[in-house]
Amino acid sequence: MVAVQGKDTKIMLRDVSIYYSALHVIKGVSMNFLDKEITAIIGPSGSGKSTLLRSLNRMNDHIAGMRVEGEANILGSNVYAPSVDVVALRRRVGMVFQKPNPFPKSIYDNVAYGPRLQGQKSKVELDGIVERSLTQAALWHEVKDRLHASGLALSGGQQQRLCIARALAVDPEVLLMDEPASALDPAATAKIEDLMLKLKEHLAVVVVTHNMQQAARVSDFTAFLLGGELVEFDITRKIFTAPTDKRTDDYISGRMG
């Protein structure tokens, strides 16, 4: 397997294992995620994609019995070191969820939520952040005249872009996306995919997807996870045209769940 490496490694996993009590869900995964690249994680349902993704910003911390072994380095510091400030970590590693989940607040307040948490009070600054984030999320032109309308009044696709804008507003270095388009129609999905390609100019994107075409279209690297094992991890084109492992071949050609 090619050890993906580059000058800008944002996340480095070394022999990471994750357990839910006795259940061994992620089995010794080692891989790198590069800056300004999109890494796709594919694999059948239950293979541990969400578990792996959520371990990167410690969103699984609250689950009793969850245990992580090995080393997960984000920008040189171990995510699971006892001294890590989880709150600060999550500001640097943003997340977009499968189902759009805007707060029942205005569009403006949704985007301004993160900066306000960090103590940003200046109206001028917040206005700037809101406009910049919504523009980055390709939503500005659709909502600029109704920033104070509820975020929940938007369509599903718009809501998801609002959630992306909200995540971008805290200026993360890594954006984790767990099936960000699986609840959307093809047109809205295409918009999210375009958006991902723009986002990678600024940050590292990690996307979990069930959609092979999506992984092939947008990602630079693809990791195939099966039963918690990293079967193959390589340049996306290589994975989809000349996979080394037979199981990868079976999966991408639809001969497996």
47 binds Mg ion (CB under 5 A): no
C-alpha span between 184 and 202 (Å, rounded): 25
Measured at CB, which residue is nearest to Mg ion? 50
Residue in 36, 91, 132, 210 binding another protein, rule: CB under 8 A: 91
Which residue is listed with tokens 């975020």? Answer: 151
23 binds ligand ATP (CB under 6 A): yes
C-alpha span between 143 and 176 (Å, rounded): 24
Instruction: Report the DSSP beta bridge partners of residue 71.
Output: 14
Fill in the amino acid letter for 97: F
Please identify, using beta-carbon distances, which residue of 20 and 140 lies nearer to ligand ATP.
Answer: 20
The stretch among 25-33, 56-64, 71-79, 138-146 that binds another protein (CB under 8 A) is 56-64
Instruction: Report the DSSP beta bridge partners of residue 68.
Output: 18
| 211 to 240: interface string for another protein, x by CB under 8 A | ------------------------------
Residue in 5, 22, 45, 64 binding another protein, rule: CB under 8 A: 64
Fill in the amino acid letter for 166: R
CB of 45 to ligand ATP, least distance (A): 3
CB of 44 to ligand ATP, least distance (A): 7
SS3 230: strand
129 binds another protein (CB under 8 A): no
Residues contacting 178, CB < 8 A, separation 6+: 49, 50, 53, 54, 95, 96, 97, 98, 208
